[in-house]
Amino acid sequence: MKQTTDFLKMKETNEKIAMVTAYDFPTAKLSEESGVDIILVGDSLGMVVLGYDSTVPVTINDMIHHTKAVKRGAKSTFIVTDMPFMTYHLNREATLTAAANIIQDGEANAVKVEGGGNVIQMIEALTTSGIPVMAHLGLTPQTVGVLGGYKVQGKTAEAANQLIEDALKCEEAGAFALVLECVPKQLAKEVSKRLSIPVIGIGAGADVDGQVLVFHDLVKLGVDRVPKFVKTYADANELISKGLKEYVREVKSLQFPEEKQTFTMKQEELSTLYG
């Protein structure tokens, strides 16, 4: 299994990091078998798997439950788990307890937290306690209420400078990597250049140290529309719905099951079955 230091090395040698989210045994297993470097158990879980409108309702127990399943499916892949909304803001003790639960019960290798500002001190508390932290700046979905919607961040010089400052503070606080979501490519490039830790982009252009996408967006599973920054590499919706419709049709038309999907009894047993 790769370690945080391997991701630093990948940045130094300019090998891009491929990260994808996964939420359960099959998505984790497929991700590991496909050679992804990092699996993120994202709190996007709330939207793409649990059907909520945002990531805000996701609980620490949801994250632990799903991280355990991911671990069983991807035993040799570095797993990062999102700390959910409001589990790393109240105080150090609550933050450390929540992260410890994710690492100990969920068996994640690291946690991810969103935002700069007061979150920086939590990153420091976590890393000095031995818990690797991935930071997350730019569009931070947990604070979508404050940001006023899912929009590109850091478009003005002022906002961009603030983001660069926050990014440097995340690195200084001990984060081993930074997710940068939905920012102009010029800003992402600058952040990646200024930081020695890898910058993993989503909607941040190509001039960063790695990419992350949401599993269900990437293979078009259960989602109808995907954001501009997503490239869909497969159409699982089409594949699965074709199979399901065929199944329903065959059940109704008595084409399923056939002999080969059916068990039989021996003739001599049958004679006694009816008494």
Annotated binding site: 43-44, 82, 112, 114
**Which CB, 126 or 212, lies closer to ligand KIV?**
212
**Which CB, 58 or 125, lies closer to ligand KIV?**
58
Give me the phi and psi of 202, to 5 degrees please: -140, 110
177 scored as a contact of ligand KIV (CB under 6 A):
no
**Which CB, 236 or 250, lies closer to ligand KIV?**
236
Please report, in range form, the residues annotated as the binding site for Mg(2+).
43, 82, 114
DSSP letters, 10-29, are HHHTTPPEEEEE--SHHHHH
- For the chain, the distance separating the N- and C-terminal CA atoms, rounded to the nearest angstrom, is 62
Give me the phi and psi of 133, to 5 degrees please: -125, 135
Q: Which of 39, 42, 64, 187 binds ligand KIV (CB under 6 A)?
A: 42
- CB count in 10 Å sphere of residue 9: 13
Q: Which does 197 bind (CB under 5 to 8 A by kind): Na ion, ligand KIV, none?
A: none
Q: Which of 214, 218, 221, 223 binds ligand KIV (CB under 6 A)?
A: 214
Rg of the chain (C-alpha set): 22
Please report, in range form, the residues annotated as the binding site for 3-methyl-2-oxobutanoate.
43-44, 82, 112
Q: Which of 179, 187, 197, 221 binds ligand KIV (CB under 6 A)?
A: 179
212 scored as a contact of ligand KIV (CB under 6 A):
yes
Catalytic residues: 181
The distance of closest approach from Cβ of residue 44 to ligand KIV in the complex, given in angstroms and rounded to an integer, is 3
Buried residues in 11-36 as b, exposed as e (16+ CB within 10 A):
beeeeebbbbbbbbbebbbbbbeeeb
| Strand 199-202 with 210-213, pairing | parallel
Residues that bind Na ion (CB under 5 A): 42-43, 82
Q: Which does 214 bind (CB under 5 to 8 A by kind): ligand KIV, Na ion, none?
A: ligand KIV
Q: Which does 212 bind (CB under 5 to 8 A by kind): Na ion, ligand KIV, none?
A: ligand KIV
Closest CA to 117 of 93, 98, 144, 136: 136
The distance of closest approach from Cβ of residue 33 to ligand KIV in the complex, given in angstroms and rounded to an integer, is 20
Q: Which does 21 bind (CB under 5 to 8 A by kind): ligand KIV, Na ion, none?
A: ligand KIV
Q: Which does 179 bind (CB under 5 to 8 A by kind): ligand KIV, Na ion, none?
A: ligand KIV
**Which CB, 46 or 174, lies closer to Na ion?**
46
| DSSP at 174 | T
Closest CA to 138 of 90, 103, 187, 186: 187
Residues 102/70, Cβ–Cβ less than 8 Å: no
Q: How many helices (H) and strands (E) does the chain have?
A: 12, 8
44 scored as a contact of ligand KIV (CB under 6 A):
yes
43 scored as a contact of ligand KIV (CB under 6 A):
yes
Q: How far apart (Å, rounded) are the C-alpha atoms in residues 85 and 56?
A: 6
User: Which residue, chain included where needed, has tokens 């050679």?
Assistant: 35
Interacting residue ranges for ligand KIV, rule: CB under 6 A: 21, 40, 42-44, 82, 179, 181, 202, 212, 214
